Amino acid sequence: MRFLAKAARKSPWIYRINAGSCNGCDVELATTACIPRYDIERLGCQYCGSPKHADIILITGPVTVGVKDKLLRVYAQVPEPKVTVAVGICPISGGVFRESYSIAGPLDQFVPVDVNVPGCPPRPQAIIEGLALAIEIWGERAEAAA
């Protein structure tokens, strides 16, 4: 079964959740860092339409009060093993929305965060580096689970 785990390392599928982001991070993430130009498919990545297919979850935004329950519900639908990446300063500390009455975050109160990619918004290169770190962690988890 070792080789199965080795293969899993090469197939991290990604899913992104917008937890109340201002959309700045989403633009950097979805339309700059993860488009064909930077070719993350090289690493075996593939965008998923469904959280149930995903291995790595990229979360943007400060986790607003309204989105918190939905975020947790979607998060629970990602099958184990999984890796979480917080993209942007918002999910890490609340960023510019910090201490706002409508914010429930930061993210790590609710879900275990494995990689933080700070920035407002982070550069595409930073996001891809965060993704590369996440893939390392994903590989270890997949091997541990096998």
Q: How far is the CB of 35 from ligand SF4 (least distance, A)?
A: 18
| Closer to other proteins by Cβ: residue 56 or 90 | 56
Nearest to 45 by CA among 60, 28, 57: 57
Residue 112 found at the interface with other proteins (CB under 8 A): no
Among 23, 31, 39, 96, indicate the residue that binds other proteins (CB under 8 A).
39
Q: Which does 77 bind (CB under 5 to 8 A by kind): other proteins, ligand SF4, none?
A: other proteins
Quick one: 140 exposed, middle or buried, by C-beta within 10 A (0-12, 13-18, 19+)?
A: middle
Long-range Cβ contact pairs of 69-74 (< 8 A, separation 24 or more): 71/17, 71/19, 71/110, 71/111, 72/110, 72/111, 74/17
Residue 145 found at the interface with other proteins (CB under 8 A): yes
Q: Which does 22 bind (CB under 5 to 8 A by kind): other proteins, ligand SF4, none?
A: ligand SF4
Site string for other proteins, 46-65 (x = CB under 8 A): xxxxx-xx-x----------
Q: How far is the CB of 6 from ligand SF4 (least distance, A)?
A: 35
Q: How far apart are CA 22 and CA 60, in angstroms?
A: 9
